[in-house]
Amino acid sequence: MPYVTGHKYRIHWRRGLDFDYMRYELSERAQPTDKDIYFQTNFTETRTALKFVAGGTLIPNNTLTTKAVADLENGDNLVRNDTATRLIDFVVNGRNRTKFAVELIAEKCSGTC
């Protein structure tokens, strides 16, 4: 689905449904000089963790808020997992082609459950 660079989008899951796994890929036309695209989505189910993974490497939480805007890369994120908020913000851009595809993995339980 095409999105306009330099804009923010809010994704809402129909009827409060959540994802357990989501993957997105950059367009082959994405350029390092393109403006960032920001996304925000809600989730309602309790999660132990929401992980962003690109090329087998975990992208830490809070990278969206701790990096300078010019240094943001595809998949940089902020996961607010507290009960009152439960929001995920992330950026999509073409600055680092090793992060061509990003997976979001929702963990409902860590360890023995």
**Model confidence at 101, in pLDDT bands (50, 70, 90)?**
very high
**16 pLDDT exceeds 70?**
no
Structure token digits, residue 17: 């449904």
95 confidence band (pLDDT: 50, 70, 90):
very high
Bridge partners (DSSP) listed for residue 43: none
CB 9 within 8 Å of CB 36: no
pLDDT at 14: 72
Supply 82's token pair: 């507290």
pTM of the predicted model, to two decimals? 0.90
Residue labelled with tokens 């994120």: 77
Which amino acid is residue 54, in one-letter code? A
Going by the DSSP 8-state scheme, the letter that residue 3 receives in this structure is -
Give me the residue spans of the domains in the chain.
Answer: 8-107
* Coil, strand or helix at 63: helix
CA separation (Å) from 82 to 48, 75, 79, 86, 113?
A: 10, 21, 9, 6, 20
pLDDT at residue 107 above 70? Answer: yes
